[in-house]
Amino acid sequence: MFSPSGPKILVGCAPCQPFSSYNQKNEDPKYKLVEKFAELICDIEPDIVSMENVPRLLAFQGGKVFDRFLKMLEKHNYSVDKRVIYAPDYGVAQSRSRLVLVASRLGPIRFIAPTHTPDSYSTVREAIGDLPVLKAGEIDERDPMHRASRLSEINLKRIRASRPGGSWKDWDDKLVAKCHQNKSGDGYVSVYGRMTADDPSPTITTQFFGFGNGRFGHPEQDRGLSLREGAILQSFPPKYAFAPPGEPIQFKKMGRMIGNAVPVLLAQAIARSVKIHLNEVASATP
């Protein structure tokens, strides 16, 4: 809801699935929601606009979708700053890159400079290393979000054979899944992997709690990430409540909430960029 006395700020994001590297066919019609968001902007004409998506939006359909979006904003007198942001540059312990756009009808706007450098990036160990130890299938009695998925006997053997930063290619042949034994599956190495403790984590997806869904094996414990660990790697506060007390915790539901979220520290960087811009505009107004 817009306040009559304050600046109008509209933040939105079209679904990223049509532009994701997981979508090989590029036939998902939801890509048209990028243009629908532009139409909404042009109808409302808020003072400030922000949007984030995956970097592949820049090249989708030869760049035509994003170019149309920019032209619609420029036609309505928006100054635009767009860039691909690397989340660790803003304190997020996760190797996540996002396309971020901020735009203003009040004057030139800029995204704030990085707050971290490679030698000060937050790591997996720093983010989740102090959480209680869990086994696969266990739940921390003090925090129902700190729960890990069960692992089958074969997957327990697989994770025990996995090294941080490695892949299923490090295993004995008897542990390799049939789909990866075929030539068509040989290139899919970004699954069944352990994270490296002293680096940022891989990109957290909606399926981060499953060991076989990516490089989501805990770097030291024989299990996948817990829901709480995934949330912390998305830079949510360690005690953030995702459900009312007593409500059942469902892996898929919570995984979608956490994995689809903009990392909190990245959202804060966007908000700081807008605040700095508004202060500059206010100070320049007679």
Catalytically annotated residues: 16
Given the DSSP bridges, would you call strands 48-53 and 79-86 parallel, antiparallel or unpaired?
A: unpaired
227: which 2 tokens? Answer: 């829901």
Contact 47, 79 (CB under 8 A): no
Nearest to 105 by CA among 10, 33, 3, 4: 10
- 189 membership: H or E segment, kind and range: none
| Cβ contacts of 157 within 8 Å, gap of 6 or more | 175
**Residue carrying the six token digits 């003072």:** 47
Contact 72, 42 (CB under 8 A): yes
Residue 3 C-alpha from the chain's centroid: 30
Q: CA 248 to CA 131: how far, in whole Å?
A: 21
